[in-house]
Structure 1
């Protein structure tokens, strides 16, 4: 069970790292759009930020039955 927990924690850590990097990159675009007075780029980028903020790693984990089966399967391939 500890190994399964470690896999889940590793997944969540990688998801958080990727999410943070996406936010950093998008906020650089926001800064650039503001500096260049590009309202269209600003709107598109803010929409992207909102979509990422709405997303959750737990959405994929919502079906606990399939998650449990994946955790119990030593040959399950986790994708990050």
Structure 2
């Protein structure tokens, strides 16, 4: 079932080459379109790293509030 996934990946900006050997091997390379996303992805990573403590605190608060509201006890 490599072909459908291969087609889907190629259709979203990644180029690939199927090498018909006994065990199927697919080599992917990023296209210029895909590479143009790198600065955006770097910015998202930097934001996530800079705000990780706040994100984790917000998650914990959300989980606590929703556990109390729904009457579910936390599972261990």
- TM-score with structure 2 setting the length: 0.31
Q: Report the structure, 1 or 2, having the larger strand content.
A: 2
- The structure showing larger relative contact order (alpha-carbon pairs under 8 Å, at least 6 residues apart) is 1
Q: Whose radius of gyration is greater, 1 or 2?
A: 2
Higher helix residue share = 1
